[in-house]
Chains A and B, each alone.
Chain A
Amino acid sequence: DAGVTQSPTHLIKTRGQHVTLRCSPISGHKSVSWYQQVLGQGPQFIFQYYEKEERGRGNFPDRFSARQFPNYSSELNVNALLLGDSALYLCASSLGTGKETQYFGPGTRLLVL
């Protein structure tokens, strides 16, 4: 079975632009979470979605938004990009929203110039 997939793998944008990152969860998983990992640091929680509803949001500005589709795939959108948004964006899927294990994709590396 395929694991969590993310696209694109790498992305270069300039300040002020908008970006959309995509994630497909493991088959059968209904929950998707997004994390931002700045170089040299641990991942920081951005959002969790379950059954197309937002179930949690981390301490990120409103420039960050996400949604989940009926097939449980998800998009993360970031508007008005800043240099500080440069990071590895990780998607994780889990069966539900209890204490199940979250399985991570390979990430999308975003560079903002």
Chain B
Amino acid sequence: GDSVTQMEGPVTLSEEACLTINCTYTATGYPSLFWYVQYPGEGLQLLLKATKADDKGSNKGFEATYRKETTSFHLEKGSVQVSDSAVYFCALSDMIKAAGNKLTFGGGTRVLVKP
């Protein structure tokens, strides 16, 4: 079945440092790929997405490129801020039955940015 593996945290960084969170996936079809972010006590917010190979998703300074050859979707940001402290989830969406698009999530990576 489908699965997503992402690096375990916590990842602790200083403000303005570079962030990379690795994510690899296994899927039988041609999934769409997502990064969601979860702030303390809240639900998940979509950060960015890519729907086909070589697509690059970007938002709020974060980027990720859909790499089919390496089945990866690594999240990067060149200069983090304290407000980027959160848990980040990599996820894939593939079809179920004849219609349906459940999300399969990785375990999440906690990021802590210190001033």
Contact = CB atoms under 8 A, between A and B. Distances in A.
A8 interface: no
Q: Which of B46, B95, B101 has the most CB of A within 10 A?
A: B101
A107 interface: yes
A50 B95 CA distance: 14
B103 A102 contact: yes
Given A99-B51, A101-B49, A104-B36, A43 B99 contact: no
B43 interface: yes
Q: Report the interface size class on chain B.
A: 20 to 34
A104 B42 CA distance: 10
Interface string A42-65: 111100101000011010000000
A27 B105 CA distance: 25
Interface string A8-41: 0000000000000000000000010101000011
A76 interface: no
Contacts of A7: none
B102 interface: yes
A56 B102 contact: yes
Interface string B34-48: 101000001111100
Given A56-B97, A104-B36, A104-B45, A45 B102 contact: yes
Interface of B: 4, 31-32, 34, 36, 42-46, 49, 51, 89, 91, 93, 95-97, 99-108
Given A42-B107, A56-B102, A92-B103, 11 more contacts: A31-B101, A33-B102, A42-B108, A43-B44, A43-B105, A48-B100, A56-B96, A90-B44, A99-B32, A101-B46, A107-B43
